[in-house]
Amino acid sequence: MPDDPEFVPYLYEFHYDTHTMKPTMGRSMFLRRLDLPTDNPVLQAVQQRLDRAYALTEARRGETPYLVVKDFTAPDIISVFSLTTMRYFLPWSLSKHPCLP
């Protein structure tokens, strides 16, 4: 409901995974397949963006019982692939992100 104070964070997170997290993961996966040197500026920029995306997700998850608000909502479901299955295709460690699944 638009009059709910949690609507804006809900709406933001509803679109965040699909329009920010997954495209950044896709770019990172593609660039890793090119076997570029680690000092490549494009590779570094995409990795920094992905690190910021993980950090934002970690921070949000640390504030509430679920990803965005106090209830289980669609963004929690939408983010499952990015935070679990995608790790088979784009390995990353959970060691820096204790609040993530």
Summarize pLDDT for 38-59 with one digit per residue, the tens.
999 999 999 999 999 989 888 8
So what's the pLDDT on residue 50? 92
Summarize pLDDT for 58-94 with one digit per residue, the tens.
888 888 888 888 889 999 999 999 988 998 999 888 7
So what's the pLDDT on residue 47? 94
pLDDT at 101 over 70: no
Contact 21, 53 (CB under 8 A): yes
Spatial CB neighbours of 83, under 8 Å, sequence gap ≥ 6: 57, 100, 101
Average pLDDT score, the chain: 89
So what's the pLDDT on residue 96? 84
pLDDT at 27 over 70: yes
Residues 101 and 57: their CA atoms lie apart, in Å, by: 11
So what's the pLDDT on residue 3? 84
Q: What is the mean pLDDT of residues 1-16?
A: 86
